[in-house]
Structure 1
Amino acid sequence: MTSFVLHLLRHGEPEGAGALIGRTDAASTVAGIAACVTQAQGLKAPVLIASDLSRARLAGEAIGAAAGTALAIDPRWRELDFGTWDGKPPADIDNAALARFWDDPDVHAPPGGECWSALKCRVSAAVGDLAPRATLIVTHAGAMRAALAVLCGFDARQVWAFDLPYAGLLSLRVWPGANPVAQIMGLRP
């Protein structure tokens, strides 16, 4: 089976950085968009996809304009929905509830938010729909972690071991199929 390269690029720094920003459509800073364009230079990915949230979509549009590549929008690459915690800094959330979430984000999803398995399910479906061509996806840290869980078999606790900074690039070699698998090729901040 033919493999392909999948680049996952976290959006640049958004307005309100430091808060739990999931479904909130926070805009990226100009510097955040520029950092994404710089990170994407030279990737040679003919397929360009972005989450529909503006902090990812605007970076995708700028990358597409610089590379002469059409951008497709896929909302399945959105960040985890943090429910009533969305937009709040961690210091404003009950410490015990937040600790339970970090310990087991499937059982202790944010109130009114999305559980980890739902995020994994939608990212898995998005990965399954990818054509086996070099692809760049501008997305969010949660979706990138879900992709690592789906493609590399990491559990929820293991994916938190990866530092995924704003404009960080995770590159994977993917072998598609009914149960796709991947090898990590690189992670650069």
Structure 2
Amino acid sequence: MTSFALHFLRHGAPATPGLLLGRTDMAPTAAGIAACAAQAAGLAVETLISSNLCRARDAATLIGAAAGLPVVSDPRWRELDFGDWDGRPGSAIDAEALGRFWSDPDAHPPPGGEPWSALVGRVSAALADLAPRPTLIVTHGGAIRAALHRLCGFDQRQLWSFDLPYAVLVSLQVWPGESPHAQLVAIRP
């Protein structure tokens, strides 16, 4: 089966950095949008997909206009829902509870939030719906990690070792099918 290029672009810096932003729809900075556009410049893609949150969607809109591509908005590419912690700095959250979450986000999701497996499930469904053609997805750090888990088989400990700063570009070569798999090609901060 023929493989295809799949690129993930993390949204640019939000207006207020340092917060746990899941469902909170905080606007990105102009510099953050510009950093995303610079990362995407020259990518040969046929499909452009974005999380429906503005911190990803605003960059995708600019990228789409420059490339002459429509943006497909898909809420399955949203960040993990941090529930009661959403929109708060890590320093405002009980350190032990936050530590349990980071060590096992499925067993210890944020209060009122989404377990890791739910994020993996919706990202896996979104991946299954992709057409096998060069694609750019503008999304969030958690969704990128979930995709790497699904496509490359990285376990949770390995996923947290990846530094995925704002506007990072992660490129894969994907072999679709019943059990899709991918090769990590590059991470470009």
TM-score, structure 1 as length reference: 0.99
What's the counterpart of residue 131 of structure 1?
131
What's the counterpart of residue 25 of structure 1?
25
Distance 1:109 1:16 in 2: 23
Q: Does 1:140 align with 2:140?
A: yes
CA RMSD of aligned residues (A): 0.5
Residues 16-165 of structure 1 aligned to structure 2 (within 5 Å):
16-165=16-165
Distance 1:18 1:66 in 2: 30
- What letter matches 1:69 in structure 2? L
Q: What is the DSSP-based 3-state SS (H/G/I as helix, E as strand, rest coil) of the residue aligned with 1:6?
A: strand
Indicate the percent of aligned positions where both proteins have the same amino acid: 66
Q: What is the DSSP-based 3-state SS (H/G/I as helix, E as strand, rest coil) of the residue aligned with 2:9?
A: strand
Q: Does 1:5 align with 2:5?
A: yes
How many residues are aligned here? 189
* Contiguous gaps of at least 5 residues in structure 1: none
Please report how far the alpha carbon of residue 178 of structure 1 lies from its aligned counterpart in structure 2 after TM superposition.
1.1
Distance 1:111 1:151 in 2: 28
Distance 1:131 1:92 in 2: 42
Please report how far the alpha carbon of residue 49 of structure 1 lies from its aligned counterpart in structure 2 after TM superposition.
0.4
Distance 1:179 1:74 in 2: 22
TM-score, structure 2 as length reference: 0.99
- What letter matches 1:159 in structure 2? L
CA contact (8 A) 1:105 1:156 kept: no
Please report how far the alpha carbon of residue 84 of structure 1 lies from its aligned counterpart in structure 2 after TM superposition.
0.2
- What letter matches 1:93 in structure 2? I
Distance 1:130 1:30 in 2: 29
